[in-house]
Amino acid sequence: MRLNNKVALITGAGSGIGLQTALRFAEEGARIVAVDINEENGRETVEQITQRGGEAAYCRADVSSAADCAEMINFAESTFGNLHVLFNNAGIMDSRDDDAESTEEEVWDLTMNVNVKGVFLGCKYGIPALRRAGGGSIINTASFVAFIGAATSQIAYTTSKGAVLSMTKELAVRHARENIRVNALCPGPLRTELLMKFLNTEAKKQRRLVHIPMGRFGEAREMADAALFLASDESSYMTGSELLVDGGITAAYVTPE
């Protein structure tokens, strides 16, 4: 198994990419710390894993809270002994997010607190745990919009994912000699509840789909497979990189010089 004897902490594990990654990592032998602010969803993830014969434990955390992030790392180590994989996946996409003129400051601040500060705090408290374990892999969820922007305006979300990408690269350089790898998973448009709530009309969905060469939304399970590669030793010579899993959308819009 590709993650045998590894402990993986996944934020936003109650739904979407986080849920599918928790299930996928458990299939490959990892013991899972499922972190989510929604207790019902988080516990349901744990139940699904244990029903399939895996090991998992739920920890409630608001990733924008330093105290909660410190506690989730403590929980991982006290429950399973070590931490080897940290997947900073929790994020939001507020339906009120629009262009710079229309987006309220409240929406901007909320998005930055969860999507950017949450990744920072996860790394702040998670890196010492990975160091204690002798190294490991950090995966931060960014997005294709960090490269090309979005056809449907979402200024706060797009900016937050650009910040995650930059943060990932700096952390990778800083910790490369400690056997701590840091990479960004950059999904394209996915058929998840998060995006479908934002693309809440058929016109919005079609406006996004027309730009995707493969002609469909991605699936959360496909992102989980990509995260598995980044978590496993198969990506052992990979750090500071962005793994675009986007149906070809960035290739269609990034013109070579």
Catalytic residues: 157
- Give the tokens for residue 42: 């988080």
By the 8 A CB rule, do 223 and 20 touch?
Answer: yes
AA letter at 179:
N
- Give the tokens for residue 61: 């955390």
Q: Please name the residue that has the structure tokens 């330093």.
A: 66
What distance in Å separates the CA atoms of residue 31 and residue 80, rounded to the nearest whole number? 8
Sign of torsion, CA 161 166 172 174?
negative
- Give the tokens for residue 119: 């990744």
What distance in Å separates the CA atoms of residue 213 and residue 106, rounded to the nearest whole number? 35
For residue 210, the 8-state DSSP code is: T
For residue 175, what are the CA distances in angstroms to 131, 138, 181, 183?
A: 9, 11, 7, 12
Beta-strand pair 180-187/242-245? parallel
For residue 151, the 8-state DSSP code is: S
